[in-house]
Amino acid sequence: MNDKTPQILDGRPLKEAICNVLSSKISEKISVSSLKILPTLVIIRIGNNEASKTYVKNKIAFGKKIGGEVIEECHDENVTTNEIVHSIQIHNTNNSVHGVIVQMPIPVHLNQNEILNAIDSKKDVDGLGESSMYNLLVGKPSFIAATVKGILTMCREYNIELESKKVLVIGRSLIVGKPLALALINANATVTVAHSHTNNLKELVAQNEIIMIAAGKQNLVSKEMVHENQIIFDIGINRLEDDQLIGDFSADARKHVKAYTPVPGGVGQLTVASLFENLVEAYLKNS
Ligand code: NAD
């Protein structure tokens, strides 16, 4: 057990600070522009996933708060890939739209790659298209996936050094694990990636200084696996039967580490704020 009280890496004040910065940037731009166009994000939501509806609601609320506009475009569960791609192409050519995202997950019959790649890279504010991913791979400036950008912001704001640190990323999805691992390598961390076929997770957790967990498996990292010098970024979100949200890091393990992000109130707070940082960047560049 840790003698010192672990530090809680709270995402809320950072989200608030980003909100204020973005509001000021938008007001400034509007005050000098003759067209008075607001930064506009189109969110394409497909089907009836309840969690997705909540995530979109949060994005709309944040967009309003900073003085931007968010358009939710809803599609039926049975929509085709072609129909979504066609709709994206229309937004690509609309100068008053600065960002287009597709709320994940999408129904399995759809071609996710084709849909994400249809988004113009200048409007790919979720950073999930091939062009944005390639830029991340080669270390070129680009929109970075919002969750990853949020984690980098947390590290910067809480003075968590990544250079030469041993970091374990648990999860290898396109949305979190893979771009996170690349961003950490670009930040000069020594990165190990674990996933569902990894046999020695316990050993890997013990060997690393910073653990970033994005598996969506509650209690995946427990108190027996961690030690008092480790920093835990809990990215996982698991919804319990009573609708309570918990992460992948066991609650009773929190007091055994140096610092951790709570769920809720940690990384998730920064995900929405980072998406709008990308949107405002696109708006300032392209309007
Ligand atoms: P995903 O299901 O696409 O990927 C999960 C990954 O975890 C896979 O790569 C899989 O190999 C790995 N995994 C599963 N079981 C494992 C195990 N036992 N050991 C090691 N690795 C294992 O999910 P995702 O989209 O990457 O999201 C992961 C989690 O992060 C989910 O809970 C999701 O809700 C959450 N999430 C949170 C935010 C946020 O803002 N906080 C954003 C995106 C996703």
Which are the contacts of 192, defined by CB distance < 8 A and separation ≥ 6?
Answer: 166, 167, 168, 169, 204, 207, 208
CA atoms 175, 243, 72, 281: torsion sign: negative
CA of 24 to the centre of ligand 1 (A): 34
CA of 4 to the centre of ligand 1 (A): 30
pLDDT tens readout for residues 180-189: 999 999 999 9
In this prediction, what percent of the chain has a pLDDT beyond 70? 99
Return the pLDDT at 2.
Answer: 63
CA of 62 to the centre of ligand 1 (A): 24
pLDDT tens readout for residues 92-150: 999 999 999 999 999 999 999 999 999 999 999 999 999 999 999 999 999 999 999 99
CA dist 230 and 138 (Å) reads 29
> What Cα–Cα distance (Å) separates residue 233 from each residue in 8, 31, 45, 46?
10, 39, 28, 29
Ligand 1 atom, smallest distance to 235 CA: 41
CA of 274 to the centre of ligand 1 (A): 19
Backbone angles phi, psi at 220, to 5 degrees: -65, -40
CA atoms 117, 119, 122, 128: torsion sign: negative
Q: What is the mean pLDDT of residues 276-281?
A: 98
Contact assessment for residue 37 and residue 287, using Cβ atoms and an 8 Å cutoff: yes
CA of 248 to the centre of ligand 1 (A): 9
Return the pLDDT at 33.
Answer: 85
pLDDT tens readout for residues 52-105: 999 999 999 999 999 999 999 999 999 999 999 999 999 999 999 999 999 999
Return the pLDDT at 4.
Answer: 81
**Which tokens belong to 119?**
């988004």
CA of 95 to the centre of ligand 1 (A): 35
pLDDT tens readout for residues 200-256: 999 999 999 999 999 999 999 999 999 999 999 999 999 999 989 999 999 999 999
Return the best residue to mutate from 50, 170, 176 for the ligand 1 pocket (most ligand atoms within 8 A of CB).
Answer: 176
**Residue of the nearest CA to atom 39 in ligand 1?**
268
Ligand 1 atom, smallest distance to 272 CA: 40
Return the best residue to mutate from 235, 261, 276 for the ligand 1 pocket (most ligand atoms within 8 A of CB).
Answer: 235
> Over the chain, what is the mean pLDDT?
96
Return the best residue to mutate from 101, 103, 195 for the ligand 1 pocket (most ligand atoms within 8 A of CB).
Answer: 195
